[in-house]
Amino acid sequence: MALSDHMRELRARIIRSVSVLVLAFCVSLFFYHQLLDLVVEPYRHAVEILGGKVNAEIVMSGVSAPLMLQLKLCGIAAIVVSSPYWLLQIWGFVVPGLTQREKRWTRVFGLVAGPLFIAGVALGYYILPKGVEVLLTFTPEGVKNLQDFGEFFTFMTRMLLVFGIAMEIPLFVVLLNLAGVVSGKMLSRYRPWIIMGTMVFAAVATPSTDPFSMLMLAVPMLILFGIAEVIARTVDRARGRRRESTDQWGDDEVSPL
């Protein structure tokens, strides 16, 4: 295809993606109260766990705060809900430039990446009340903790995003192995450093200071890293067998001279 044809195709795919995104945004406006309850629930649960030990309340400040929160919440919901479609559009634009082998691997990773990200977000949402509980315990006695809803929503979004991306890191390790950048032996050699780095990353990424939240992020990552190492070693062995087969075939060839 000519460059102008590629640009027209890109424009068409962007228009279709934006149209679906706007449609999803309009639909999410009808479910705003359900989405709002989904966001507030971790905070309410954390306050209930404390049992009145901390005087905490979530509030909104500013005349335009309710409107901005509604637009932001419905916008993020629309992006998440419509992600299969706009990711498919990106895939459709990239696929013509890939080889058959690359297409096969990208399909596999496309199927795995989505569930891993969703699992990471679900895990982050599950431990969010525990993290909020620990942070609220630092409120001095006799002081009322007024949490701005917009700041809490931003905090929650960042935490869930960190958990979702963290689950994708071992997948990128496998991609680097397929690209020949990282080998299974290298992962085995640096395993203690990977474990230490994962624990440090989990301690920094989780907002609370309790070890429970850190372990809830670190343990799944370490399990996925172990699976990634097994896959990398399997790919290395298969690559070595293909190389030996090629060398043997070359050695068995007899020159006609």
pLDDT of residue 3: 65
Sorted by where each begins, the domain ranges of the chain are: 1-147, 168-243
* Alpha carbon 98 to chain centroid, angstroms: 25
Helix axes 211-252, 169-178, angle to 10 degrees: 10
pLDDT of residue 176: 77
User: What are the residue ranges in the chain where pLDDT is below 70?
Assistant: 1-3, 94-103, 105-107, 110, 179, 207-210, 246-257
Give pTM, 2 decimals.
0.74
Q: Give the residue from 169, 147, 163, 168 showing the smallest Cα distance to 204.
A: 163
Determine contact, residues 131/207, Cβ cutoff 8 Å: yes
pLDDT of residue 251: 52
- Taking only the tens place, the pLDDT of each residue in 29-54 is 999 999 889 888 888 888 888 877 78
Task: Provide the β-strand partners of residue 58.
Answer: 147
Which residues, including other chains, have CB under 8 Å from residue 164's CB and lie 6 or more apart?
117, 118, 120, 121, 124
- Contacts from 113-116 at CB under 8 Å and sequence distance 24+? 113/168, 113/171, 114/83, 114/84, 114/87, 116/167, 116/168, 116/171, 116/224
145-148 and 56-59 strand pairing = parallel
pLDDT of residue 19: 92
CA angle 27, 90, 100 (to 5 degrees): 140
